[in-house]
């Protein structure tokens, strides 16, 4: 599927061949300042209705490295959202200014899910509710491919709050298309209630009863934070975590039952890799020492995020 002039709202529209083409483009990206073409630069508009550090800054970094102009509306202050304007109207107004690409992050919104595919301007999904985070799924797979050369037959464990994770959903899709096997582990109330349901069934996901059993199986493991902002009252009530913040004792209990502790690091293969999409809650899903482990590729993911987003922008804009 050529991306020229197209949106990328979900990785499910991509074939394994498309993903490979994105990765080859990412491999070939010249991200130095001297690579910037001359002439009027296309404009990328970033609209983040939810907080972000990595995705937002790496889209901006990628765009600057390509010599594009970037407009980012600060939604927390100074936008008309504070006067009651809806997210849908905000997107429509931005689209009416005819930028060359829109980058949009948002929480669960049926209105935006329906609107974005209808826009005439290409849209890159920077994370939508619990549904999809295509650029994260691609950069995670790209990071593993950089280490292994390919993902065929590799076993990837995703653990933590899988239920509320758009990263996990895009990961299931991209990683399995590239031939990897997926395992998951997490507290029962934070796993999709039926991993055999139709949207997840094609992925053939293995559910592990414990992290101790799952870690020796994995060639790579990816931790997920508890996404409290997406927990509804029901899952919060079932949870042994409070709805707002994890207190010290609850965090310690979660880490010992479900998290990657220093002791559990010993269960991982010596050559296994450790990923996390961020933000990390140190002392909850990961012991503070985990990111220091030589097998951690957490910052390589961030570096590769710029490369993948630059590749997608370049493919969409035909640069
Ligand atoms: N991984 C990720 O989406 O991080 P941010 O929320 O900081 O963008």
- Mutation pick for ligand 1 pocket among 58, 72, 139, 277 (CB with most ligand atoms within 8 Å): 277
Atom of ligand 1 nearest to the CA of 55: 8
pTM: 0.91
CA of 115 relative to ligand 1 center, distance in Å: 23
- Mutation pick for ligand 1 pocket among 279, 281, 297 (CB with most ligand atoms within 8 Å): 279
pLDDT score of 2: 85
- Tell me, using a 6 A CB cutoff, whether residue 54 lines ligand 1: yes
Atom of ligand 1 nearest to the CA of 50: 6
Peptide bond into 279 cis (omega under 30): yes
CA of 194 relative to ligand 1 center, distance in Å: 26
CA of 242 relative to ligand 1 center, distance in Å: 23
β partners of residue 221: 157, 274
- Cα separation, 317 vs 243, in Å, equals 42
- Tell me, using a 6 A CB cutoff, whether residue 52 lines ligand 1: yes
Cα–chain center distance at 240: 26
pLDDT score of 166: 97
One digit per residue, pLDDT tens: the chain, 319 residues? 789 989 999 999 999 999 999 999 999 987 775 666 677 899 999 999 999 999 999 999 999 999 999 999 877 678 898 889 999 999 999 999 999 999 999 999 999 999 999 999 999 999 999 999 999 999 999 999 999 999 999 999 999 999 999 999 999 999 999 999 999 999 998 998 766 556 666 788 999 999 999 999 999 999 999 988 888 754 544 544 444 467 788 888 999 999 999 999 999 999 999 999 999 999 999 999 999 999 999 999 999 999 999 999 999 999 8
pLDDT score of 281: 94
Residue 203 makes CB contacts below 8 A (sequence gap 6+) with: 172, 173, 176, 182
CA of 202 relative to ligand 1 center, distance in Å: 26
- Tell me, using a 6 A CB cutoff, whether residue 227 lines ligand 1: no
- Cα separation, 13 vs 246, in Å, equals 37
- Cα separation, 242 vs 315, in Å, equals 44
């Amino acid at each position: 599927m050529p991306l020229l002039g197209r949106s990328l709202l979900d990785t499910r529209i991509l074939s394994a061949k498309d993903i490979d083409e994105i990765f080859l483009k990412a491999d070939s990206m010249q991200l130095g300042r001297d690579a910037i073409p001359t002439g009027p630069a296309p404009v990328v508009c970033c609209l983040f209705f939810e907080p972000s550090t990595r995705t937002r800054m790496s889209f901006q970094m990628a765009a600057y490295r390509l010599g594009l102009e970037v407009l980012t509306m600060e939604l927390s202050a100074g936008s008309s959202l504070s006067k009651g304007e809806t997210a849908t109207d905000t997107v429509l107004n931005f689209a009416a200014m005819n930028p060359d690409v829109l980058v949009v992050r948002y929480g669960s919104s049926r209105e935006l899910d329906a609107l974005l595919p209808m826009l005439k301007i290409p849209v890159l999904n920077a994370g939508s509710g619990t549904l999809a985070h295509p650029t994260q799924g691609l950069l995670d797979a790209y990071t593993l491919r950089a280490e292994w050369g390919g993902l065929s037959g590799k076993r990837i464990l995703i653990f933590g709050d899988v239920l509320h994770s758009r990263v996990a959903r895009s990961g299931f899709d991209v990683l399995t298309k590239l031939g990897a096997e997926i395992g998951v582990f997490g507290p029962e109330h934070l796993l999709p209630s039926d991993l055999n349901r139709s949207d997840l069934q094609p992925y053939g996901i293995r559910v592990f009863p414990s992290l101790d059993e799952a870690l020796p199986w994995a060639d790579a493991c990816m931790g997920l934070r508890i996404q409290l902002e997406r927990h509804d009252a029901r899952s919060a009530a079932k949870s042994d975590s409070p709805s707002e913040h994890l207190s010290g004792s609850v965090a310690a209990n979660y880490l010992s039952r479900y998290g990657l502790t220093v002791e559990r690091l010993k269960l991982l293969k010596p050559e296994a890799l450790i990923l996390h999409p961020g933000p990390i809650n140190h002392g909850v899903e990961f012991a503070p020492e985990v990111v220091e482990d030589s097998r951690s590729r957490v910052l390589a993911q961030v570096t590769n995020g710029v490369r993948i987003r630059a590749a997608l922008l370049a493919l969409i804009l035909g640069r």
